[in-house]
Amino acid sequence: MTTPSPYGAPRPQEPAISGVLVIDKPAGMTSHDVVAAVRRMLRIRQIGHFGTLDPFATGVLPLSIGKATRFAQFYLKSRKAYAGVIRFGFSTDTYDATGKPTSEAVQGQPERESLERLFQELTGRISQAPPPFSAKRVNGERAYALARRQQAVELQPVEVEIYALELLGLEGQEARFAVECSGGTYVRSLAHDAGRRLDIPAHLAALRRTAVAEFTESQSTTLDDLQRSADKGEPPATFIALESLLPECPALVVRGNEERSVRHGHSFELAHSLRADRGLRPDQPAPAISVLKVLGADRKLIAVARHVVGNVYHPDLVLV
Catalytic residues: 54
Please state whether beta strands 58-65 and 202-212 pair in parallel, antiparallel, or not at all (unpaired): parallel
**Count of CB atoms within 10 A of residue 303's CB?**
24
Please state whether beta strands 312-318 and 301-309 pair in parallel, antiparallel, or not at all (unpaired): antiparallel
What is the distance in angstroms between the CA of the first residue and the CA of the last residue of the chain?
A: 20
